[in-house]
Amino acid sequence: TRINESASASTLAKNIPAILSLIVVVAGFFLLAMTKEADVRTAVVGIITLVIGYYFGSSYTSKLKDEKNKSLTHMEGKR
């Protein structure tokens, strides 16, 4: 997460989590389309759910919380 805050980090470095998440989700949907076995499909759906849940769930809300805390800290410093 510190890489995203760095001014000297490249665009690729800042977007690695999003790119990896996209690859996992796309590969998961491809596997769902190609296999008929129930166990494999259940595992793939579980992996896709974990990736989407992490990316848009805990990490996203944590990022929003950090941004809000940072803005509140800056407001207190101006008093």
Q: Looking at residue 23, what is its pLDDT?
A: 92
If one counts every other C-beta atom within 10 angstroms of the C-beta of residue 32, the result is 13
Distance separating alpha carbons of residues 28 and 73, to the nearest angstrom: 41
Give the integer Cα–Cα distance in Å for 34 and 73.
51
Please list the pLDDT of the chain residue by residue as tens digits (79 residues). Answer: 566 667 777 888 778 888 888 999 999 999 999 999 999 999 999 999 988 888 777 666 777 787 787 777 766 555 5
| Euclidean distance between CA atoms 11 and 53, whole angstroms | 24
Residue 65 pLDDT: 80
Question: How much is the pLDDT for 77?
Answer: 56
